Each structure stands twice: as structure tokens, then as C-alpha cells.
A and B are shown apart, each in its own frame.
Chain A
Amino acid sequence: MKNIKRIIQLGALTTSMMVLAAGCGTASNQTSAAATGTTGKSTAGNKELVFYSAEGFDQDIATAFEKKTGIKVKLIDDSTGPLLARMQAEKSNPQWDVAWFDGPSNMQGLDDQGMLYKDYTPAGTANYNDLGKKMYPSDHSYFPVTATAAGAIAYNTKLVKPSELPKDWSDLLKPQYKGEVAMNNPSISGPTYSAVFGLMNVQGGIPQGESFFTKLKANGLQVFDSNGPTLTNLSKGIVKYAIAQDSAIIDQINKKEPFKIIYPTSGVTMLTSNIAIDAKAPHLEEAKQFVDFVLSAEGMKVAANAKTGDANFVSLMNGEPGKQGIRPNNIKWNSEDPVAGAQHENDIKTWFTQNIVQ
């Protein structure tokens, strides 16, 4: 037995040495993280900001902000799902300052958990147009920045004649579209939940909405993970129509895919991207500056010029600093109620997973 102890000791020694070496390697990061993350104060002259984002243009915005202010932006770019999981796992001791992603109900969910800072009104909010005002929450916990249609209908122009096109959502239940429609899974794709919830409201409520999707499934609806696979399958002709976020469809059109978009007559759900400050932000002042920058005409211009699908947004500001002429003017925009959206989110996702996906 004695020799075993020796061997364990030896092993422990070697590993602790390894760990030590590893510690040294990352020491600089650790100290900086310790200095900023744990004390909750930032030292002058070494200003920084931790920015969690799921937007395609986040890196461009961060770089532009760094250039303008000299404040170092440390970015975590991830899909909305893992990003939200990370933020909520951090809840007891948050490390982020500013977060920015799609979906007001997601923000509302964080707000409901008391995670968002409410005592700041950025100057840019005065410049909201009617759409922007409609989406701006009364408790000022987060700020709408850009908007897209959560779900519009894309079709493959190689496979569909203009005369065959559906006009509204209910047309998709007709036998002529059997097996030709695809959409994303709301449990995996962030914007899709908003699209599903909005569509249910268009149908008159959740029970009517559930019946709509059940009929759609009976008519051969195919469900793929997210915009990527869904639009790939549209491009390959596995389906002729795909319900997807319109900015992603526009991006594919710009990449020369043979797609066009139908905005159904009963309306599409407006999906805003929202920015928020952490209630316990380690770098509160820098966070405020950053949000101000994002909501300024200058920040919007950076976002609109980035090389990403997310840059194809609808502007929520007066003076329209976004891209022009990428959407028809007669779109009927429906706005979902984020409080109700957050309330029903789990139930609807679970119902969808078990009844439509499976």
C-alpha cells in the first residue's frame, strides 16, 4: 500500500506542477479578469467592456467603438441559445456589461429575472420612429436597435411560377402546397419562436395557432434546425417554400440564390434586435457609452454596412440610417407582446417539439 501512496504523491506533484504551469500561461488573463470581473471596478486608463452578442455585425461595431473611444471591447460572439445559457449560468455573478441579440421575449425573460439595468435612457431613444416607439419597453430595460421579419415566406424562383404563389399563411394549408414547405425549429433557432408566436396570434390565439401548425404538419411541413439548413434545402429544391427570417433570405439573394420573398397579407412578425445593460455591470459607464454609440446614426451605419445577413435590417430610427430599398413598402408588421411571448415561450416550444418536430 505504501508504494501506491508514493505513486499518488508523485502523480499529484506532477499534476500540480502542470496546473501551475498552466496557471502561469494564463496568468495575465486571470489577473485582468480578476481585476475587472470580481472587484466590479475599472481602473482609469485601462478602460474595457465585456460585450455578449449574437449579431452578425457585432465585431464591426466593437471595432468602430474601440477606434472612437479607446475603450477595449472584449467580445463573446455566439448563437443566441448558448449565449443565453451562459448569461443565466452566470446570473449570481455576471461578467458581461452589454448584451445584444434578437428577440424581445428573450430580453423580457432576462428582465423578469431582474438581470437588466433600467436606470438609463440613451439619447438615441429620442430618435425612434413609430416602429421603434412601439417596440421600446416602458420600463426601459432594453433598447430595440434593428428589426427584421421573424418569418417570411421564401420561394425558389426556379421551381415556382408567379401564378402559383401563396398570398397568405392560410394558403399554405392548401393541397397544392403539400410537402413543399419547410421552416425552422423554434427550440433551436432563435428568431423562429417569435415567428411561431406571432403566427399563432395572427390565427387568433394559441389554441387556434396550434391547430394551424397541426394542419400545416398534416400538409407535409418539414422542420429543419435553423435558417442555414432550411434555406439550403430550399436552394436544393427539396422544398419550394421556406419560412425563414427575411434578413437571412435577403442575404442569400445577395449571394445569388434564386430566391424571392412573399410577405403574407395578414402580416409578418417584427423581430427586433435589442441591446441591454447588465444590472450588475462591472463597467457601467463604458456600457452606457457603448449603447449610446450603437443607437447613434454612426453606429447604425456601421451595422448596415457590415458583411452579414443581419445588416439587412429595417430601421427603427428617424432618418433611416439603414439600407434602403431592400424590402417592399407595403409590409404589414405585427408586433408581438414580449411579456406574453416570454410567458408562453416554454409551453409553446415544448408543444412544438413534441407535436410538430417529432
Chain B
Amino acid sequence: MLLSLVAYPLGSILLQSVFPELYDRGFQVFSFTSFESIFKDSYTYQAIVNAFLFGGGTAILAAILGTFFAVLVHRKWVYARKTVGLFIWIVFFTPSYLIAEGWVLMLQDKGVLCELFHLPDGSFKWFFSPAGLIAAMAFRLFPVVYLSVRSGLEGLGSDFEEAARTQGASSLRVWMKIIIPLLFPAILAGATLAFAESVSDFGFASVFVPEAHIPLLTYSIYTALSQMPVNFPQVGAMSIVLIGVIALALWSQKWILGRGSYSIIQNQIRPYRIERSPSVFWTIAAYLILFLVFAVPISGEVITSFFKVSSDGFMASNWTLAHYKTVIQAGSDSYSAILRSLGLSALTAITVTILGVGLAFVIHKKSGMDTKILYVLTMSTLAIPGIVLAAGFVFAWNAPFLIPFHLNFYGTLFCLYLAYVAGSLPNSIRLQIAAITQVSPTLLQAGQVHGAGLFRVFRKILFPLVSGTTISTLFLTFSHIMFELPSSELLYPPDQMVLPVVITKFYNNLDVENGSAMTVLAIGLVIAVFGLGQLLIYVWKQFSRRISMRALYVQEKSIEPAYQMQKEREIAE
């Protein structure tokens, strides 16, 4: 199942790097010429070095920002924590090409900021530099670290901290010597993920590189893809290089963790007791940063969507809602595309979440060779730019030898769905592993000792404990797929457009206003679905609580919980 999902399409593109005529003549022609040609080129070396430089810089900055927000939100130092959480979550799902485009809209010469404050040209030239690229990518990716550190914090009881305090340690000392070291694995896990995402990200590369002139791996892949005839062998070879870079990062993460003992308390997870009231200072700081990382780039889109003609700028007569009307006309292409994307995203989210829980459990518990292969496979899809994975799906599911078996899924929505699943599985697994790591095995054993069946253990113990993460994975995947461009562009069936394709079509036809309107609308829709989900969960919780209360009453038994339940986490943080 997973093999067909990930390994087969991936293999069909990677194998071409050494079998350049795989789809013409099978495995007959074997050569390393593609590797030779890319390693002869100083451009490739520069790009690899840059990958480490930019990925590393992004990972560090994202780690700092992510940890900062995780602590603020978890320790309740800010007002309106839910809003902060919501914003971070929106940053996470907004596709990088939109945020990158937003930065350019805002900061370029004669961009929105220049017009608003009448700044001279070149005021923001410093932003389109290596440092700016790192900052923009970190602003986009810090939620990954945030998510990882938050679950780390939840696993971290207050025992050690209280012990240290009793011994007279200062607040700063407690942080530096106890909390940060204990959180280190979580921070590192998030940072590694941020590294991988930044190295394989294409949105920023495509927007920043032409303006900032920095050789990047993903950009060379794109160049190879736009050659005529398309240089698929070279695309395969460069993708392998990319996987290598990210494998190195994952491996060094393991190596660092293996050196010391970073075991987080695994047995008693007691919720942290609130000692401090929210502080105005931290709240302002948090919102300022959030404003910078999100509102600045995205408001370019929002403002444009209300303009009649974007180049006319801020004039009273230039505001309109007409673009919104155009895009949601019932029966129009964009309307049916929205519906199609909603369905596909929901389906993908459910699949990925269920698969993610199962696979995370397997990967966490077992350490055999097969598990390692499984892990590497799913992580490879993380390393590879979406468009390459999508091309792999074309090769794989359009292959002539599948015709007799009627397995040519290419050209159907089902194929697009498979690509969506393959693309979002790694993140799901990563998040679930982080959650499962916290569940002490003794809890499961205790359940079994008391005679609970296996299914019951899974349902009554494991699932409730990881349900917070599960639900957030569900929403994250959903919103991510709503905007997934590369696979959608290459795999959408004839006459059945999906949302991101429609948005790009508007932009390609220089119809910026309608494109922005569509984008803003879609973001609103995702938030609405999120709100609805929250409501459903709330209702369900109330309902199940009432049922269980009645059950207790009927049985006239008071049962002491065998273990301290973890406090309900807020969903989707």
C-alpha cells in the first residue's frame, strides 16, 4: 500500500538518473552521466553549499521563534492565547509561494509599503538578500518548531523545575539548565523539519532567486524541468542530491540525540500549574512578531483583492467587491474548483491522519530494517519538491505496462488524491511520532494487565492521549492541500480544475485582482471549516461527558482514574 503510494512514483523518477531511457528502453541503458554533468558544474556545488547555509540559518531562526511562541502560549504568558495559536496555524498552512509573493508585493520598489509611506526606491533592497531570504523562510517555517516544542512542553512536567526552585536556582538558571536542555530534542526535531522544508521549498526560491540571484538546488531542478526536451535524468539526479542533503540533516539530528541522554519524563505527565498571569509585555511582543511574519506579507494579497485596478493604488474610487462576486458565481469554473478542492482536501486529511497514527506507532515501536526503509521513504517525499514528485506520479500511473491491469490512474482525481497523500504523509507521521513519544509504554501495559483487548488499548488509552495531535494533523493537512500547487498543476484531470490551479490561472493571465480575491476567499473558507470543526468537537465533548456521567451514575460506582489524564489540549496548535 505505502509502497505503491510513495516508493513506486518516487522510484520512477529517481531511477531515471541512472537509467536515462527507463521509459523508452527499460533498464538497458545505465549511466552516471547526469551525476557527472551536475557535479562538473560549479553552480551545483554553490547550490549545495547554499542549501546548508540557508537551511541552517532558517532552522536556527525558526527554532528561536518557534520555541519563543511555544513557551509563551503553553505557559500562558500572553492574552488571547487561542488567537496566537490560530495565527501561527494560518502561517503554517498558507502556501509559501503566496507568502513569498506577498513579501515582494509589499517590499519591492513602488510596492505597497513604499506607496503608503512615500519611501524612495531601494528602501527595501536589503531584504532581497541572503539574510532576507533566511528571515522570510524562517517566518514561514517557525510553526513547525512551535508545534514540536509545544508537544514537548506538554510532556515536561513541573517536577524538575520545582525541585530546582526549592534548591534556590534562579529563574534564568532553571531555563538554561533544565527546561531548554529537556526541550532540546523537541526543538531539534522541529528545526530539522524546518531545515528540510526550507531546502526543498520552491515557492521562495522562485520568487526570491530571480530578484536576489542566489543559486539554489530547487531552482536548478526547475531549470532542468523547463529544458526542451525535459531533462528528467538530471531532475532525478538533483533530487537524489537533495535527498542526500536532508538525510544528512536527519542523520545528524539522530547523532546529536544519541550522544547524550535527553529522555523526557515519560511516566507521569502532570500539567504545568499556572503561576503567572498573562503579561502585557509578552502579549504585545507576540502580536508584533506575528504581525511582522504574517500580516505584512499577506495584506498585499488582501488589499489587492479589493482594488478595481491594482496599479491605480489607494484611491477611494478604486475599491470594489466585484472580484469576489466573479469568482464565486455558481456554476463557474472557480466555483466548482472550490468544491472539488474541499472534497479532495477533506478526504486526504482523513486518510493521512489515520495512516499517520498507524505508521508513527509502527516506526516508534519497531526498529527493524523495514521500519527504517519506511521512515526513509516517507522522509524522501519531504525532501523532494512537489513538482518532481508529481512528475513521478505521471510516470508511475501512466506507464504503458499498467494498461492490461486497468491501473492507469493518471488523469483521474484519484491519482491527484494519491499524490496529495504521499506529499502530506511525512508531516503527519512526524507530528504523530512526537505525540506518541510522550505516551509511556507502561500505560499501555497497564491497560493490558487489566485485561483490556488490544483494540481497546488503542482506542481507550493511546487514541485519547494523542487525539489532540491527531485532530490538529487533520486540520493542517486539510488546509495545506487546499493550496497545494505543484501536484495539482501537473496532475489535475482534464476539465476538472482545482482551487490552486484556478488561482494560478488568474495570475498567469495578469488578472491579479481576481487571483487575490480567490486566495483571500479560500483562506476565509479554511478558517470557517476550522471554526466548524472546533464547534463540533466542543459539542461532542459535552455530549460524551454527559453520557459517561450518566454511566457512572447508573453503575453507582465511583472509579478512580488509573492514571492522571493529560489535560485536554487545545486543538490545532
Contact = CB atoms under 8 A, between A and B. Distances in A.
B275 to A, nearest CB: 39
Contacts of B228: 84, 105-106, 109, 342, 345-346
Contacts of A185: 210
B129 interface: no
A251 B510 contact: yes
Interface in B477-507: 489-490, 492-496, 501, 504-505, 507
A121 interface: no
Contacts of A4: 361-362, 365-366
B398 A308 contact: no
B455 interface: yes
A95 B415 CA distance: 14
Contact of A81 (B226, B309, B354, B512): B226
Nearest to B504: A79
A15 B355 contact: yes
A76 B492 contact: yes
Interface stretch (B181-189, B262-270, B405-413, B534-542): B405-413
Interface string B336-355: 00000001000100110011
Given A89-B394, A91-B23, A349-B226, A228 B343 contact: no
Interface string A244-265: 0000100110011100000000
A92 interface: yes
Contact of B489 (A75, A78, A91, A93): A78
A225 B219 CA distance: 13
B192 interface: no
B413 A236 contact: no
Given A30-B412, A92-B400, A228-B507, A10 B229 contact: no
Q: Classify chain B's interface size.
A: 35 or more
A358 B213 CA distance: 4
B41 to A, nearest CB: 9
A257 B210 contact: no
A251 B508 CA distance: 13
Given A76-B494, A236-B109, A257-B311, A85 B398 contact: no
A325 to B, nearest CB: 23
Contacts of B398: 89-90, 92-93, 95
Contacts of B501: 78
Contacts of B108: 233, 238
Interface in B358-380: 358-359, 361-362, 365-366
Interface stretch (A31-39, A160-168, A286-294, A328-336): A31-39
A4 B351 CA distance: 19
B261 interface: no
A3 interface: yes
A145 B262 CA distance: 68
A86 interface: yes
Contacts of A188: 206, 210, 226
Interface string B197-225: 00000000010001101110000001101
A93 B408 contact: yes
Contacts of B358: 7-8, 10-12, 15
Nearest to A19: B351
B568 interface: no
B1 A30 contact: no
Interface string A219-239: 000011101100111011110
B185 to A, nearest CB: 23
A95 B410 contact: yes
A37 B414 contact: no
A43 interface: no
B322 interface: no
B162 interface: no
A2 B501 CA distance: 46
A132 interface: no
Nearest to B491: A86
A224 B206 CA distance: 11
Contact of B110 (A18, A95, A224, A236): A236
B142 interface: no
B84 interface: no
Contacts of A285: none
Nearest to A3: B454
A225 B311 contact: no
B354 A29 contact: no
Interface stretch (A20-28, A146-154, A206-214, A267-275): A20-28
B24 A92 contact: yes
B417 interface: yes
A129 interface: no
A144 B409 CA distance: 33
A174 B408 CA distance: 58
A25 B403 contact: no
Best-buried of B213, B230, B391 by chain A (most CB within 10 Å): B230
A236 B112 CA distance: 11
Contacts of A26: 412-414, 417
A210 to B, nearest CB: 17
Contacts of B227: 345-346, 349
B408 A33 contact: yes
Contact of B510 (A81, A248, A358): A248
A56 interface: yes
A187 interface: yes
Best-buried of A84, A223, A237 by chain B (most CB within 10 Å): A84
A322 to B, nearest CB: 19
Nearest to B347: A22
A46 interface: no
A85 B110 contact: no
B411 A33 contact: yes
B399 interface: yes
A154 B398 CA distance: 44
A14 B400 CA distance: 30
A23 B387 CA distance: 24
A354 interface: yes
Contacts of B350: 18
B229 A109 contact: yes
Contacts of A34: 406, 408
Contacts of A7: 358, 361-362, 454, 458
Interface string B496-526: 1000010011011110100000000000000
Nearest to B105: A232
B354 A92 contact: no
A309 B406 CA distance: 41
Contacts of B110: 233, 236-238
A12 B1 CA distance: 8
A88 B23 CA distance: 11
Best-buried of A7, A56, A113, A228 by chain B (most CB within 10 Å): A7
A350 interface: yes
A82 interface: yes
A64 interface: no
B232 interface: yes
A75 B494 contact: yes
Contacts of B410: 90, 95
B569 to A, nearest CB: 22
B567 to A, nearest CB: 25
B395 interface: yes
B121 interface: yes
Interface in B285-305: none
Interface of B: 1, 23-24, 43, 108-110, 121, 206, 210-211, 213-215, 222-223, 225-232, 309, 311, 343, 347, 350-351, 354-355, 357-359, 361-362, 365-366, 387, 391, 394-395, 398-400, 403, 406, 408-414, 417, 448, 454-455, 457-458, 489-490, 492-496, 501, 504-505, 507-510, 512
List of 9 A-B pairs having minimum Cβ-Cβ separation, nearest first? A11-B358, A74-B494, A236-B110, A109-B228, A89-B394, A3-B454, A26-B413, A92-B23, A74-B495
12 contacts: A7-B358, A7-B458, A10-B358, A11-B359, A15-B1, A15-B355, A30-B412, A85-B226, A256-B309, A342-B228, A350-B223, A353-B223
Given A12-B1, A109-B229, 8 more contacts: A8-B362, A26-B414, A29-B412, A93-B403, A95-B410, A237-B110, A349-B227, A350-B223
